[in-house]
A = this chain, B = another copy of it.
Amino acid sequence: MGDKNAADIARLIHDETFDIDTEEFTRLVAHAGDLIVKYFEGIRTGIIIPDKTLEQMKESIIEPLPLTGQNLWQILEEAKKKVIDQAVRIGHPKLLGWILPSGTPIGAVADGIAGALNQNVALSGSGIATAVELLVLNWIKQILGYDQNAAGVLVSGGTLANLTALTVARNSKATYDIRKNGVKQGNERGAMVLYASKEVHSCILKAANLLGLGTDNIRFVDIDDQFRLDVKDLEAKIIEDREQEKHPFCVVATAGTVNTGAIDPLDAIADTCQNYNLWFHVDAAYGGFAALAPSCTPLLKGITRADSLTLDPHKWLFIPFEAGCVFVKNAAQMREAFSVSVPYLHIDKTKIPGQDDVDFADYGIQLSRHFRALKIWMSLKQYGVEKYGRIIEQNIHLAQYLSALLLEREDVEIVAPPALSTVCFRYYPRDLQQRYQRCDRGTQENIERYLDALNQSVLSAMRKEGKMMLSGTVLRNTFVLRACIVNFRTTKQDIVEISEMVQGVGKTEDGTLRRLHI
């Protein structure tokens, strides 16, 4: 362009825009709103998960890269038929698989508004979005009774929250300057060692991998009969590592394990961390907001002693994905780990309206950040924490109810004591239970193998039918069915029907499979 003057360049510009005519946009928004209302209206009925393979899904939407624009109404129609109608009905009262919570309807409305505002909640000048996030973070600290001076940030979810916290833990506990020197796990002697129970969430492994700690330097601590971290084994492992001149630096405790809902003995772990000068991190992604349920308060004792804390508002605050949250008690350590000074962001802070002392990019990994706080703000205001507490308590009661109903059936075994809102069980035909008591070890092993296969079939059959959805996991080498109730639509009647369906499907699958196996 060097040789072109302004007038020459001006002739190339035709003021095209992506804006839509207001009238057409009004109708479009109204129609989309209608789709959203209808979606929620129908969420209690219909198939939970469509019976199609990914290949079939891919084929149903295949389309070359659009060169020219398409009709807006056609696009919305496709969004309805191809996407909405084929989506998993997350929010269905009988979806109890994994931890897939129902989302608040107002959360969806908030995400639409946030999408329109398109704030970037990191940069200088994102005043109101920053203020709302700070307010929401303070509310969450209050819910937990956590230090009001702690620094925090909203993130995409538990994985990023844990990664953020462990970055601060690693950098703060290192005996050298990690930001400058890099990680030195090669030095066998001083290697930094992380402790977590055998039931810890896989994202802790992922974080340790990213942070360059290495799985060799993670100790998987034994669990007790309720799948909680065994503090004696923790201490023994710390002492052993010290003797080997390793550098024990952090314990990850879990408040609500993903498998069974177990809450590690937080207070005792906090004592151990204090005694051995270790960073105390609590992954309370699932169980943290159980602080609102009176029955859980005693179990969470010690959580406020955490140096860092992971929570997932997109779990038991029922916020639509993504809404994770992380706190670090010592704000300076958090800032020290993440603040990177660059001229184009940090100039002239004192003079810019709306930008005083908080830039969330200094407290976490992301720079550009969506306005996640809005949906949390609106949801907490709509319901208030007292009702949240009742709904969470209700989820816990529903899990206990399911467990009790299943116990009353002869063909079901409860495999782990129900904790929080999780029930782990398996379909175990009564005649096989009896046979197991009086047969030899070889036959017992055959029965175990058969039960694994049977319960996998039960799970698949349930999903294929689409009327309810559980997930499966492995506990002490046994495949089990897992119901995790983080759902404000599930009723007593749903639980009764689920327990009946388990029995029904179990019987059918057993009828088909038994002769093939034993």
A67 on the interface (CB 8 Å rule)?
yes
Q: How far is the CA of A122 from the CA of B78 in the complex (A)?
A: 23
Is the beta-carbon distance between B52 and A353 smaller than 8 angstroms?
Answer: yes
**Chain B nearest CB: distance from A461 CB in Å?**
9
27 A–B pairs (Cβ distance < 8 Å), ordered by A: A4-B404, A9-B400, A10-B401, A14-B394, A18-B104, A25-B37, A33-B33, A35-B113, A49-B353, A53-B353, A57-B128, A65-B385, A66-B380, A72-B106, A75-B382, A79-B378, A84-B113, A107-B115, A108-B113, A108-B118, A156-B156, A182-B185, A182-B213, A182-B216, A186-B187, A259-B344, A312-B368
| B-contacting 9-mer, from A131-139, A276-284, A434-442 | A131-139
Residues of B within 8 A of A78 (CB): 381
Q: How far is the CA of A300 from the CA of B321 in the complex (A)?
A: 35
A516 on the interface (CB 8 Å rule)?
no
Is the beta-carbon distance between B157 and A366 smaller than 8 angstroms?
Answer: yes
> What are the interface flags for A130-156 relative to B under an 8 Å C-beta threshold, 1 for contact and 0 otherwise?
111011000100110000000000001
In the complex, residue of chain B having the shortest beta-carbon distance to the beta carbon of A351: B460
Top 5 A-B residue pairs of the complex, sorted by shortest distance between their CB atoms: A112-B112, A182-B214, A184-B186, A182-B185, A212-B212
In the complex, residue of chain B having the shortest beta-carbon distance to the beta carbon of A80: B113
Residues of B within 8 A of A275 (CB): none
| B-contacting 9-mer, from A228-236, A472-480, A500-508 | A472-480
A217 on the interface (CB 8 Å rule)?
yes
Residues of B within 8 A of A68 (CB): 384, 386-387
**Chain B nearest CB: distance from A405 CB in Å?**
5
Contact of A492 among B10, B19, B191 (CB under 8 A): B10
In the complex, residue of chain B having the shortest beta-carbon distance to the beta carbon of A126: B88
Is the beta-carbon distance between A381 and B66 smaller than 8 angstroms?
Answer: yes
Residues of B within 8 A of A28 (CB): 106, 109
> What are the interface flags for A25-57 relative to B under an 8 Å C-beta threshold, 1 for contact and 0 otherwise?
110111011111101110000000111111101
Is the beta-carbon distance between B108 and A58 smaller than 8 angstroms?
Answer: no
Q: How far is the CA of A112 from the CA of B116 in the complex (A)?
A: 10
Chain copies in complex = 2
Residues of B within 8 A of A36 (CB): 29, 112-113, 116
A244 on the interface (CB 8 Å rule)?
no
Residues of B within 8 A of A383 (CB): 18, 69
A497 on the interface (CB 8 Å rule)?
no
Residues of B within 8 A of A125 (CB): 49, 88, 97, 463, 469
In chain A, residues 363-396, which have Cβ atoms closer than 8 Å to a Cβ of chain B?
A: 365-371, 374-375, 378, 380-387, 390-391, 394
**Chain B nearest CB: distance from A133 CB in Å?**
11
Contact of A116 among B16, B39, B86, B474 (CB under 8 A): B39
A255 on the interface (CB 8 Å rule)?
no
Contact of A160 among B98, B107, B365 (CB under 8 A): B365
In the complex, residue of chain B having the shortest beta-carbon distance to the beta carbon of A49: B125
In chain A, residues 179-204, which have Cβ atoms closer than 8 Å to a Cβ of chain B?
A: 179-187, 191, 202-203
Is the beta-carbon distance between A368 and B18 smaller than 8 angstroms?
Answer: no
A299 on the interface (CB 8 Å rule)?
no
A512 on the interface (CB 8 Å rule)?
no
Residues of B within 8 A of A308 (CB): none
Q: Given A19-B105, A60-B131, are A473 and B343 neighbors across the interface (CB < 8 Å)?
A: yes
A334 on the interface (CB 8 Å rule)?
no
**Chain B nearest CB: distance from A497 CB in Å?**
14
A15 on the interface (CB 8 Å rule)?
yes
Q: How far is the CA of A382 from the CA of B111 in the complex (A)?
A: 20
| B-contacting 9-mer, from A261-269, A354-362, A425-433, A443-451 | A354-362
A347 on the interface (CB 8 Å rule)?
yes
**Chain B nearest CB: distance from A87 CB in Å?**
5
Is the beta-carbon distance between A112 and B108 smaller than 8 angstroms?
Answer: yes
Residues of B within 8 A of A26 (CB): 33, 37
Q: How far is the CA of A343 from the CA of B116 in the complex (A)?
A: 39
A335 on the interface (CB 8 Å rule)?
no
Q: Given A127-B57, A131-B58, A374-B83, are A365 and B183 neighbors across the interface (CB < 8 Å)?
A: no
Is the beta-carbon distance between A344 and B473 smaller than 8 angstroms?
Answer: yes
Q: How far is the CA of A116 from the CA of B84 in the complex (A)?
A: 10
Q: Given A16-B394, A354-B54, A355-B54, are A382 and B120 neighbors across the interface (CB < 8 Å)?
A: no
Contact of A130 among B51, B57, B84, B180 (CB under 8 A): B57
